Amino acid sequence: MENKRIIIKWFDLYSDDIYQFLIYRVGVKDAEDLVQEVFIRALKNIDSFQDEGKEKSWLYSIARNLAVDEIRKRSRNKWKTLLSSDIGQEGTNEVTPETILEKNEINIALYNGIHRLKPTYRDVIILKGLKELSVSETAAVLDWKESKVRLTYHRAKLALKRELGGVQDEK
């Protein structure tokens, strides 16, 4: 019962951040289901969690792994994804993260630019840039050294600026 309380507390604290991270990784359509799966996996594996105070990094790691699995699954079933990508995204007047994302041109451009980046750049931009995790937290989530986080983040920002049309090649 204690583990369930801990997961409920973490859900209250971090579910919105995890959801936004997953939107950038897998898109709106699957993000909500994957958020639930993150916390289900966290509950199942909470006994193996030992880094008190680093639960946010642990949850992001779970989310990242689920996103990678989802992307792999999509690539195996690419034709299904292409046929159903526009179904079910119409007709709601609620103010939700999805509608805000769809209506804000800057966010749409950013979202599309991030999706065009290679996965390592995408991860570091989302975690460090958008979710404002520290270098050490980002390194823990990605299982990288802090120096790699700094260098990759710098390169990812330049690549994103190029994607968004803000910077010409600097070579």
Per-residue pLDDT of the chain (171 residues; tens, 9 = 90+): 688 898 899 999 999 999 999 998 888 888 889 999 999 999 999 888 877 778 999 999 999 999 988 887 876 665 443 334 333 444 445 566 655 555 566 667 788 888 899 999 999 998 988 888 899 999 999 999 999 999 999 999 999 889 888 644 444
Per the structure, the count of domains in the chain is 2
C-alpha distances (whole Å) from 156 to each of 57, 105, 118, 151 are 20, 21, 9, 8
Last residue of a domain, one of 93, 123, 153: 93
Nearest to residue 46, comparing CAs of 10, 3, 2?
3
Domain, as residue range, for 144: 104-165
Whether 171 maps to a domain, the answer reads: no
SS3 50: coil
Residue where one domain finishes, among candidates 68, 93, 118? 93
Tell which of 93, 123, 156 closes a domain: 93
In a shared domain, residues 39 and 66: yes
